[in-house]
Amino acid sequence: MSKIHYVTAEGLEKLKADLSQMTSERPVISRQIAEARDKGDLSENAEYDAAKEAQGILEMKIAKLEEMIATARLIDESRINTTFVQMLNRVKIKNLSNQMIMEYTLVGESEANLKEGKIAAATPIGKSLIGKQKGDIVEVVVPSGILKFEILEIAK
């Protein structure tokens, strides 16, 4: 059974748009395969091999997107509060070892983008923050050891 994939309405629309764009590429790759096949011996035809490989990669991506959309669960943004950390909260944390302050929004895996300050709730930091309250100290196990963060603020 596939795991549930939490997304915002905006995130789901992006997944659907990506899927639509990828499915529209199918005829292009099919034409490339047909043109390469028309060039003769397939055993030594690099164009044919490249087109078939591109087709396989595209179909794999399409299957992954279809699964993500099928298992998507929309997050009801109206039910989000700031009593404790949950999906779509903006959380300000302080690294207790270097006093650095960071701010992240917890999102689903498909919407994570560190440059935009969005981290997946399934990451070690995200998992450790879920359910915690302002003022809590959380410990995050990372490959280099244990990081300690203090939750300074929880916002929508």
Q: Average of pLDDT values for 131-156? A: 93
**Segment 143-156 mean pLDDT:** 93
Residues 141, 84 share a domain: yes
Using alpha carbons, select from 155, 147, 144 the residue that is nearest to residue 104.
Answer: 155
Of 15-24, 74-83, 94-103, 144-153, the one with minimum mean pLDDT is 74-83
pLDDT digits (tens, 9 = 90+) for 25-73: 999 999 988 888 887 776 777 888 888 899 999 999 999 999 999 998 8
Tell which of 45, 74, 103 closes a domain: 74
Give the pLDDT of residue 38.
82
Asked if 83 and 151 sit in the same domain, the reply is yes
Q: What is the pLDDT of residues 2-21, one digit of tens each?
A: 688 888 888 899 999 999 99
- Domain interval for residue 121: 78-155
CATH number, domain of 92, equals 3.10.50.30
pLDDT at residue 1 in the model? 47
Q: Is the pLDDT of residue 90 over 90?
A: yes
The answer to whether the beta carbons of residues 103 and 91 sit under 8 Å apart is yes
65 and 27 share one domain: yes
Is the CB of residue 95 less than 8 Å from the CB of residue 149?
yes
Give the mean pLDDT of 95-115.
93
Residue 144: pLDDT band with limits 50, 70, 90: confident
As a three-state string, the secondary structure of the chain is CCCCEEECHHHHHHHHHHHHHHHHCHHHHHHHHHHHHCCCCHHHCHHHHHHHHHHHHHHHHHHHHHHHHHCEEECCHHHCCCCCCCCCCEEEEEECCCCCEEEEEEECHHHCEHHHCEEECCCHHHHHHCCCCCCCEEEEEECCEEEEEEEEEEEC
Question: Does one domain contain both 34 and 102?
Answer: no
Domain end position, chosen among 23, 46, 74: 74
pLDDT at residue number 2: 61
Query: What is the tally of structural domains in the chain?
Result: 2
